[in-house]
């Protein structure tokens, strides 16, 4: 009887662990965003600004800035009440090939090397594959057309 309980417990751990990526694999996905963010749309970006009420500070209006250029789009939450008043990155989207991306995940590449390198995604549909962080709401979504990567979107939810 005790061995049955142990086996069920082990199966439960496996099922929970199989639903999200191991931290080291998700870390490699996060690391791929760093050079893009460092170079993204610094000088020649189109900037759209939306005002939003701060959910934690009454009467404070924050802004969401979206910078777009050269197949990159970066969305940043900017608030004078935040620990980093320069802004918190909410998302990064890539829609064109970029030499700063690892080749196996670049736009236009086959999905097969991506899955070989990163393993099975947390969820998959005909037109997307989502890799989720094991202990947060962070995610990376690969847009797919046929068997090719057509977009990549990193999401970092901001509270």
Q: Report the distance separating Cα 68 and Cα 45, nearest Å.
A: 5
Domain-located, residue 83: yes
pLDDT at 11 over 60: no
Domain-located, residue 6: no
Tell me the mean pLDDT in the region 102-127: 94
CA distances in angstroms from 94 to 50, 63, 127, 141, listed in the order given? 21, 22, 16, 11
Q: Which two tokens stand for residue 56?
A: 């934690």
Domain-located, residue 4: no
Tell me the mean pLDDT in the region 98-114: 94
Q: Which domain holds residue 39?
A: 34-155
Domain-located, residue 95: yes
Total domains in the chain come to 1
Domain-located, residue 39: yes
Tell me the mean pLDDT in the region 97-102: 93
Tell me the mean pLDDT in the region 101-121: 93
Q: Which two tokens stand for residue 125?
A: 């549909």
Domain-located, residue 105: yes
Q: Report the distance separating Cα 54 and Cα 48, nearest Å.
A: 18
Domain-located, residue 16: no
DSSP track, 88-144: EEEEEEE-S--TTS-GGGSTTSBHHHHHHHH-S-SEEETTEEEEE-TTSS-EEEEEE
Q: What is the CATH number of the domain that holds 122?
A: 2.60.460
pTM, whole model, 2 decimals? 0.81
Domain-located, residue 22: no
Q: In what order do the strands lie in the sheet with 61-69?
A: 46-53, 61-69, 72-78, 88-94, 148-155, 139-145, 128-132, 123-125
């Amino acid at each position: 009887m005790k061995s049955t309980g142990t086996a069920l417990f082990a199966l439960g751990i496996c099922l929970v662990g199989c639903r999200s990526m191991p931290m080291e694999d998700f870390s490699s996905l996060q690391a791929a965003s760093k050079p893009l963010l460092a170079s993204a749309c610094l000088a020649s970006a189109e900037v759209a600004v939306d005002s939003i009420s701060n959910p934690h500070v009454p009467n404070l209006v924050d802004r969401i800035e979206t910078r777009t250029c050269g197949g990159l789009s970066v969305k940043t939450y900017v608030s004078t009440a935040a620990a980093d008043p320069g802004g918190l990155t909410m998302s990064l989207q890539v829609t064109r090939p970029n030499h700063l991306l690892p080749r196996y995940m670049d736009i236009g590449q086959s999905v097969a090397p991506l899955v070989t390198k990163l393993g099975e995604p947390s969820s998959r549909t005909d037109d997307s594959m989502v890799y989720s962080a094991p202990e947060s709401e962070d995610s990376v979504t690969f847009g797919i057309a046929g068997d090719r990567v057509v977009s990549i979107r990193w999401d970092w939810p901001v509270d």
